[in-house]
Amino acid sequence: MLNQSKALLKKHPSLTHSENCRVVSHVQRQDDDWIRHTLMIEGFDVPFVFKRKKAYRSLRGARVNMTYYPQCDVVAGMEFEFMKVVRIKRS
């Protein structure tokens, strides 16, 4: 698993890999055929977002390993930064 993370990071330099991060908040919302997951991670002020076809058991309080990259979204003329999660797994 670690080798896959290293390979991804080497291929895509904008990716960041974090391990053993504590999830403070986990919200799941229906978004068309997908379920949009929003995580708040201890020590970060920006949300971490990913989509899945199925609901995920609550990650609140869990430790996770994630690979992600920063993105911005413009809503009503204001720019909001968030982290797009590529891979996530419980520690």
DSSP label at 74?
A: E
For residues 67 and 87, the answer to whether their CB atoms sit within 8 Å is yes
pLDDT recorded at residue 70? 93
For the chain, report the end-to-end CA distance as a whole number of angstroms.
Answer: 12
pLDDT digit of tens for each residue in the chain (91 aa)?
Answer: 556 666 766 777 778 889 999 999 999 999 989 999 999 999 999 999 999 999 888 999 999 999 999 999 998 999 999 999 999 999 8
pLDDT recorded at residue 8? 66
Q: Which domain holds residue 77?
A: 2-90
pLDDT recorded at residue 11? 74
Tell me the CATH number at 40. 2.40.50.460
Looking at the structure of the chain, the number of domains it has is 1
pLDDT recorded at residue 6? 67
pLDDT recorded at residue 2? 57
